[in-house]
Amino acid sequence: MSLLERLAALTASRGRGVLFTVIEGDDVGANVLVLDSGETFGEGPADVLRAASELMREGRNRLLTLVDGSRVFAEVYGPPPRLLVYGAVDLAEALCVAAKLQGWTAIVADARGAFATRERIPSADELIVAWPEQAFARVKPDHRTAVVVLTHDDRFDVPALVAALAGPAFYVGALGSRRNQERRRELLREAGVAEVDYDRIMGPCGLDIGAETQEATALSILAEIHAVRTGREGGFLKHARQRIHVESD
């Protein structure tokens, strides 16, 4: 099977892999496809192969500069990132819409069956009626999953955050005022959450854009999630001192 045939099969199956393409250097145009199984197709610099696992874990494209000065574009293939929202409140629908505009998979869970319905949350790819422990066990958040907790009810928020912090989700956000965040901190401490783990929580979640509607709030939260995923702080590009486009060596 040729590299292009294998790439087509990978895309169709939504399997994981990285396509490396040399864009500057002695071997411009050379390609090598690395699958998550370690299988390779094509020929390319050996240096890039060691980066494949980390790139697949992160799930985003990168521009790499090799020791010899060659530059390689790494294009990551695989399932889209996931957004898990616990709390089927009105904001959950707006978050699903915003996430799906980015090509993400949107999952909403709530223990309250009257809330987690298609009539209320039509844009969710999956609706789960379950308490937090069961919902998180079913979804199994990974390094490509962002979690947002929205219920405003400690019966749900606290166990949902405990479950989220027990896994490798790259983002854990919680709605609520600063006063509520401090109260929640005490409850999580009582539940056995270490301070270093609590500090992973983005709460109140979202960037400060003056959001006053559900849609604007969803935009602010998704923008913060994207900033965390790409290692940025958010803010005005006009005032940025780092490169506008992410580049990794």
More confident: 169 or 13: 169
Cα–Cα distance, 65 to 53 (Å, whole number): 17
- DSSP, collapsed to helix, strand or coil, labels residue 40 as strand
- Using an 8 Å Cβ cutoff, are 20 and 34 in contact? yes
DSSP 8-state assignment for residue 128: E
pLDDT of residue 248: 44
Which residue has better confidence, 84 or 66? 84
Checking if the pLDDT of 247 tops 60, the result is no
* Ramachandran assignment for 179, one of left (phi > 0), alpha (psi -120 to 50 degrees), beta (any other): alpha
The string of pLDDT tens digits covering residues 166-223 is: 999 999 999 988 888 889 999 999 999 998 999 999 999 999 999 999 999 999 999 9
pTM reported for the whole predicted model: 0.81
Token reading at 60:
């985003």
Looking at residue 176, its amino acid is G
Look at residue 245 in the predicted model and tell me its pLDDT.
53
pLDDT grade for 27, boundaries at 50, 70 and 90: confident
Distances (CA, A) of 50 to 36, 55, 111: 12, 10, 43
Q: In angstroms, rounded to a whole number, what is the distance separating the alpha carbons of residues 60 and 229?
A: 9
Q: Please, what are the domains in the chain? A: 3-77 (no CATH), 82-229 (3.40.50.720)
Give the long-range contacts of residues 101-104, CB within 8 A, separation 24 or more.
102/222, 102/226, 104/80
Taking the C-alpha atoms of residue 71 and residue 76, their distance in angstroms, rounded to an integer, is: 16
Q: Are residues 164 and 172 in contact, defined by beta-carbon separation less than 8 angstroms? A: yes
